[in-house]
Amino acid sequence: MGCWPMHGPIVDGALAGALMCAVACGGAGTSPSPSPQPSRLHFKAGAQILTFTGFAVSADPALPACTPTGAPFAGTSIIAPADLQQSGSQWVARSTAATGGSLELRIDDTGNSSAVGDLITGSIQGSAIDTGATLRPANGVTATFVAPSIVDGTVQRTAFFTMGRITGTIRFSDGGSSPLSTGTCTAIQWMMQPASGLFPLLGLELSL
């Protein structure tokens, strides 16, 4: 049986050479990524684990239930690897080549803070395929984020851990053709942490 999270007030918890050739030949080379700028955000560049969770039942208007209830059978939660790098003032997480996903998550610092950490905003588009984790096999679900999907969240100052909300049109699909093969959400919860620091994920994957 698929796993269906519930949410409520209690439940929450060569480039240089190519460019030189382009200039010498009068062509237009591909622009390199902007140089990283100083950032206060407590991120660790490199391999990350992203989790996206939609809720089947919710008492929180900020995270309404996905529809139709019970779709897809495997649930509206995925775990997906990504690569996080800084580009100028932004941080960008993209699906790794090995997963076959097309996810692009762009994160900006709002300049504001809370008691827990620093507040961020951003956007997300593309798709990510569930890969499972140590204690849970892959569930066959793909999450697709229809642009524009808006990201907000909090980056903890004392740990490489980020948590927040994504709003927009988010579809979780098992690839089938029946009406219950795809669940659609207007808001979901997301988390990100380095792949080398999975201590919270071990408990999380048991509930996904």
150 band by pLDDT with thresholds 50, 70 and 90: very high
118 band by pLDDT with thresholds 50, 70 and 90: very high
134 band by pLDDT with thresholds 50, 70 and 90: confident
Of residues 31 and 150, which shows the higher confidence score?
150
- Give the lowest-confidence range in 14-23, 53-62, 105-114: 14-23
pLDDT of residue 123: 98
Q: Is the pLDDT of residue 9 over 70?
A: no
Q: Is the pLDDT of residue 62 over 90?
A: yes
Please, what is the average pLDDT of the chain? 85
Integer Cα distance of 7 and 4 in angstroms = 10
15 band by pLDDT with thresholds 50, 70 and 90: very low
Q: What is the end-to-end Cα distance of the chain in Å, rounded?
A: 12
Q: Is the pLDDT of residue 205 over 50?
A: no
Q: Is the pLDDT of residue 69 over 70?
A: yes
pLDDT of residue 47: 97
Average pLDDT over residues 52-58: 97
User: Is the Cβ–Cβ distance between 38 and 101 less than 8 Å?
Assistant: no
Per DSSP, helices labelled H in the chain are: 15-25, 199-207
Could you give the dihedral angle defined by the CA atoms of residues 190, 62, 154 and 200, in that order, rounded to the nearest 10 degrees? -40
pLDDT of residue 7: 67
Q: Name the one residue in this structure whose structure tokens are 């529809």.
A: 67
Average pLDDT over residues 179-202: 85
- Give the lowest-confidence range in 31-40, 71-80, 87-96, 179-188: 31-40
pLDDT of residue 60: 97
Q: Which residues pair with 167 in a beta bridge?
A: 150, 187
Tell me how far CA of residue 144 lies from CA of 110, 182, 183, in angstroms.
25, 10, 11
Q: Is the pLDDT of residue 79 over 70?
A: yes
Average pLDDT over residues 163-173: 98
User: Is the Cβ–Cβ distance between 92 and 208 less than 8 Å?
Assistant: no
